[in-house]
Chains A and B, each alone.
Chain A
Amino acid sequence: MSARTLPLLFLNLGGEMLYILDQRLRAQSIPGEKARKDEWTDVDRKRVMNDIITTMFNKKFMEELFKPQELYSKKALRTVYDRLAHASIMRLNQASMDKLYDLMTMAFKYQVLLCPRPKDILLVTFNHLDAIKDFIRDSPGILNQVDETFRQLIETYSCLSAGEFQLIRQTLLIFFQDMHIRVSIFLKDKVQNSNGRFVLPISGPVPWGTEVPGLIRVFNHNGDEVKRTEFTTDGNYVTPQREGSFDLYGDRVLKLGTNMYSVSRPVETHMSGSSKNLASHAKENIVPNPLAKEELNFLARLLGGLEVKKPGGSETGFRLNLFTTDEEEEHAALTRPEELSYKVINIEATQEPGRRAELSRILGEMEVAEPRPPSAGKGEDLLALMDGL
């Protein structure tokens, strides 16, 4: 409903994705000298993070993202993240990509649900961006891009009213409706119940601008207070100490949106149980949407047009596993419940002209895709893509 939701959805999900990838890459990395050719090192990890962040904050991409528009469907958005995750030498199998997306979405759903005020979604976004800036703190070029986006967020959202923020929040909650995938780290921390629903605390600080419930004041026709009464409930609320900062730099106060993963806390999801939930069968598009493929892609096409960093020599790309073993990954792929399938065609971005034509056809472009001249630079590729629309 709100036409200003997509940037927040994209950036926060992207932030969660980076947290998870960083944790998995650290967990699987081997010290540089000891690493074999096919094993991850710290240098590789930084490279992957840099590549993905550079792609994510690409100027043209951000410009398109910030245009007022309706939210993409879950399927369309998933394709964008597929592309993003493959913006570097890293490769993910379908099962790992599915798990990554499950974790990202459940984490952000949790953050949106527990935001004290609708406006605090902006603080959650800033938490993600602050962490992203820390990932690339040694690369001033990319840091600049991220700061630009930060400024654009402040410009776009600072003047929105509480009511408009609530509409954004409601739009996000519609997007996340009926998702109850159980996440091991949430279950352990007791923020999620075994039925997949999040725990909503009835204690703690009230949102900034809200009073602790309990007081009733009555006024006479002159406006004077004539009576005060109190009521009690099971809730145990306190006044908040201070408000988080909405500036480029500052203490956000809110912990939602900060990195909850660490090397010692592995990320797992549980698929069982959710198939019994009636609501998860809700079909997203009852009316077949002839323009569904079209929506797929200004963004995804822009991502596809960006050059994939081809590692030198004979490397074809490092595979990252979101599971503990290859067998687990295979098993997850085979046992994923039907209704949780994203039904996404796993696309590997390559530069081969023949492959590119196939991609274009799949994405439903109207024109007949011709093999593109191999020498075109990055900028010309993008323009060529846009001309073709």
Chain B
Amino acid sequence: MYRKEKSIQLKSSSAALYNNLSVLRLPGRQLACFSAVHGPSVNVVSAAADGLGFSHRQLQAKEGGMAVSTSVLTQAAWCVLPSRVLLVLTSQKGIQMYESDGSIMVYWHALDVTEHPPAQAVFARGIAAAGGRFICVGTSSGLVLVFDIPPKGTNITVSEVLEEHHDAITDIAAELGQAPDGAGDLVTADDAGTLCVWSAGEEFTLLSKIPAFGCTCSSVKLWNGVVAAGYGNGQIRLYEAATGLLRAEVNAHARWIYALDLAPQTGKLLSGAEDSFVHVWKLSRNPDTNDVEIEHCHAECVTDTQVCGARFCDPEGNSFAVTGYDLSEIFRYSQV
């Protein structure tokens, strides 16, 4: 059972965009940071663990060269690498990377507009740290840009461009637990619902491709070789990352799923959707049959709210946070 805790107020409401909440927990410092995007800006809130004292910061999307129109941010996410943590923002114009507190921008990558056909929307979306060294970001043309991140400094370079998807990237996720052999380090998802599993390195290798079944995959997670994918028809599906085999199908939500998160130490899965519900599930593997199992643990109705972001606040999944469209606060829940 979870119960609602005190919410965190935001300077502005959250936009109805996929995976619109990122949480950074810095274990040593008892500090949790939250970020959610709205229009051209992102709200970055740092809260002390005791719930008292918040500091707010708003970062702006960088304009393109001409400053013709304001750019909309599509996502913000912290990327935790062994040597540093970066806050990555994706927008209609490109990709911005900041030091984790948002104080300094260390890198800017402008999207190449000519790569896209004229009537198509141009934007970057989907952010994940991979292989202890890279940050991967998706684009609306289906490309995944792999950035090589040095331990410190601003000498970030594009190490590779992955060209396997034909539709706009929706989400990217790195393996959060221990991958069994051949199960891959990274999964990328797109608007058509196609999923690709990769092994990260100097050169990324495609390990398996899970075909679409007619629905957008808006959010994806990878844990112990299991891909958890949330779809536009409200379903959550679990696949074996190594083979692409379907292992479980859940009629989880009545509307489009907007966010998934996973607590790596327990295998708890969190899902949030337009139907106002947030569900907590438990993933496990049957040691005898090796079947992947999923059970429902908790349902939370966020009244009159279309959920757009949902994240666990700790690696066991004892607490989670939720954002919603038009909501100027972050709702928090913890296990009793």
Contact assessment for A163 and B168 in the assembled complex, using a CB-CB cutoff below 8 Å: yes
The reply to whether the CB of A241 lies closer than 8 angstroms to some CB of chain B is no
The answer to whether A210 and B295 touch (CB under 8 A), given A163-B167, A174-B72, is: no
Contact assessment for A202 and B246 in the assembled complex, using a CB-CB cutoff below 8 Å: no
Contact assessment for B291 and A233 in the assembled complex, using a CB-CB cutoff below 8 Å: no
Contacts of A235 in B (CB 8 A): 254, 275, 277, 301
The reply to whether the CB of A279 lies closer than 8 angstroms to some CB of chain B is yes
Q: How far is the CB of B95 from chain A (nearest CB, A)?
A: 16
B38 to A, closest residue via Cβ: A177
Contacts of B41 in A (CB 8 A): 286
B235 to A, closest residue via Cβ: A211
Contact assessment for B17 and A289 in the assembled complex, using a CB-CB cutoff below 8 Å: no
Contact assessment for B121 and A162 in the assembled complex, using a CB-CB cutoff below 8 Å: no
Contacts of B69 in A (CB 8 A): 70, 289, 291, 295
| A-contacting residues, B49-91, CB 8 Å | 60, 63, 67-70, 72, 74
Q: How far is the CB of B251 from chain A (nearest CB, A)?
A: 4
Docked CA distance A285–B17 (Å): 20
Contact assessment for B291 and A68 in the assembled complex, using a CB-CB cutoff below 8 Å: no
The reply to whether the CB of B269 lies closer than 8 angstroms to some CB of chain A is no
Contact assessment for B326 and A200 in the assembled complex, using a CB-CB cutoff below 8 Å: no
Contact assessment for B234 and A213 in the assembled complex, using a CB-CB cutoff below 8 Å: yes
The answer to whether A207 and B68 touch (CB under 8 A), given A166-B232, A223-B245, is: no
Q: How far is the CB of A291 from chain B (nearest CB, A)?
A: 6
Q: Identify which of B38, B119, B248 contacts A217 (C-beta below 8 A).
A: B248
Docked CA distance A2–B303 (Å): 29
Contact assessment for A200 and B250 in the assembled complex, using a CB-CB cutoff below 8 Å: no
Q: How far is the CB of B269 from chain A (nearest CB, A)?
A: 12
Contact assessment for A286 and B60 in the assembled complex, using a CB-CB cutoff below 8 Å: yes
Select the residue from B292, B299, B326 with max chain A CB neighbours within 10 A: B326
Contact assessment for A287 and B67 in the assembled complex, using a CB-CB cutoff below 8 Å: yes
The reply to whether the CB of A170 lies closer than 8 angstroms to some CB of chain B is yes
Interface window among A17-25, A39-47, A191-199, A329-337:
A191-199
The reply to whether the CB of B216 lies closer than 8 angstroms to some CB of chain A is yes
Contact assessment for A210 and B250 in the assembled complex, using a CB-CB cutoff below 8 Å: no
**Contact pattern, B 274-316, Cβ under 8 Å of A = 1, otherwise 0:** 0111010000000001111111100101011110000000000
Q: Number of residue pairs across A and B with beta carbons under 8 Å?
A: 182
Interface window among B8-16, B200-208, B222-230:
B8-16
Contacts of A287 in B (CB 8 A): 63, 67, 70
Docked CA distance A230–B185 (Å): 32
Select the residue from B15, B16, B67, B249 with max chain A CB neighbours within 10 A: B16
**Contact pattern, A 75-105, Cβ under 8 Å of B = 1, otherwise 0:** 0000000000000000000000000000000
Contacts of A285 in B (CB 8 A): 70
Contact assessment for B68 and A223 in the assembled complex, using a CB-CB cutoff below 8 Å: no
A206 to B, closest residue via Cβ: B254
The reply to whether the CB of B209 lies closer than 8 angstroms to some CB of chain A is no
Interface of B is mostly: loop
**Contact pattern, A 289-303, Cβ under 8 Å of B = 1, otherwise 0:** 111000100000000
Contact assessment for A212 and B254 in the assembled complex, using a CB-CB cutoff below 8 Å: yes
Contact assessment for A177 and B251 in the assembled complex, using a CB-CB cutoff below 8 Å: no
| B-contacting residues, A221-257, CB 8 Å | 221, 223, 226-227, 229, 231, 233-235, 237
The reply to whether the CB of B100 lies closer than 8 angstroms to some CB of chain A is no
Q: How far is the CB of A195 from chain B (nearest CB, A)?
A: 9
Q: Identify which of A3, A4, A206, A220 contacts B291 (C-beta below 8 A).
A: A220
The answer to whether A3 and B296 touch (CB under 8 A), given A163-B232, A177-B13, A279-B12, is: no
Contacts of A199 in B (CB 8 A): 304
Contacts of A4 in B (CB 8 A): 119
Q: Identify which of A163, A169, A178, A213 contacts B13 (C-beta below 8 A).
A: A178
Contact assessment for A166 and B256 in the assembled complex, using a CB-CB cutoff below 8 Å: yes
The reply to whether the CB of B102 lies closer than 8 angstroms to some CB of chain A is no
The reply to whether the CB of A161 lies closer than 8 angstroms to some CB of chain B is yes
Q: Identify which of A178, A211, A218 contacts B247 (C-beta below 8 A).
A: A218
Q: How far is the CB of A200 from chain B (nearest CB, A)?
A: 5
B325 to A, closest residue via Cβ: A173
Contact assessment for B252 and A213 in the assembled complex, using a CB-CB cutoff below 8 Å: yes
Q: How large is the interface on B (under 10, 10 to 19, 20 to 34, 35 or more residues)?
A: 35 or more
Q: How far is the CB of B168 from chain A (nearest CB, A)?
A: 7
Contact assessment for B304 and A198 in the assembled complex, using a CB-CB cutoff below 8 Å: yes
Q: Identify which of A163, A207, A221, A226 contacts B216 (C-beta below 8 A).
A: A163
The answer to whether A216 and B191 touch (CB under 8 A), given A116-B255, A210-B255, is: no
Q: Identify which of A70, A178, A209, A291 contacts B326 (C-beta below 8 A).
A: A178
Docked CA distance A210–B67 (Å): 42
Select the residue from B13, B60, B306 with max chain A CB neighbours within 10 A: B13
Interface of A is mostly: loop
A112 to B, closest residue via Cβ: B16
| B-contacting residues, A171-211, CB 8 Å | 173-174, 177-178, 180, 193, 197-200, 202, 206-207, 209-211
Contact assessment for B295 and A177 in the assembled complex, using a CB-CB cutoff below 8 Å: no
Docked CA distance A295–B276 (Å): 36
Q: How far is the CB of B192 from chain A (nearest CB, A)?
A: 7
The reply to whether the CB of A31 lies closer than 8 angstroms to some CB of chain B is no
**Contact pattern, B 18-48, Cβ under 8 Å of A = 1, otherwise 0:** 0000000000000000000011110000000
| B-contacting residues, A102-145, CB 8 Å | 113, 116, 118
| A-contacting residues, B229-245, CB 8 Å | 232-235, 240, 245
Contacts of B295 in A (CB 8 A): 216, 229
The reply to whether the CB of B133 lies closer than 8 angstroms to some CB of chain A is no
B300 to A, closest residue via Cβ: A233
The answer to whether A200 and B293 touch (CB under 8 A), given A213-B254, A215-B250, A282-B12, is: no
Docked CA distance A227–B70 (Å): 51
Contacts of B325 in A (CB 8 A): 113, 173, 177
The reply to whether the CB of B328 lies closer than 8 angstroms to some CB of chain A is yes
Docked CA distance A223–B240 (Å): 12
29 A-B residue pairings within 8 Å (CB atoms): A1-B74, A3-B119, A163-B168, A163-B192, A163-B216, A164-B191, A166-B256, A169-B16, A173-B325, A174-B15, A197-B326, A199-B304, A202-B275, A202-B276, A202-B277, A202-B301, A206-B254, A213-B275, A215-B251, A219-B248, A223-B246, A233-B299, A234-B299, A235-B254, A278-B11, A282-B12, A282-B38, A285-B70, A289-B67
By Cβ-Cβ distance, the 5 closest A-B pairs, closest first, are A163-B191, A231-B296, A68-B119, A211-B251, A163-B216
Given contacts A202-B277, A209-B233, 12 further A-B contacts (CB under 8 A): A1-B123, A162-B216, A163-B167, A163-B191, A207-B255, A212-B254, A216-B296, A217-B250, A229-B295, A286-B40, A287-B70, A291-B68
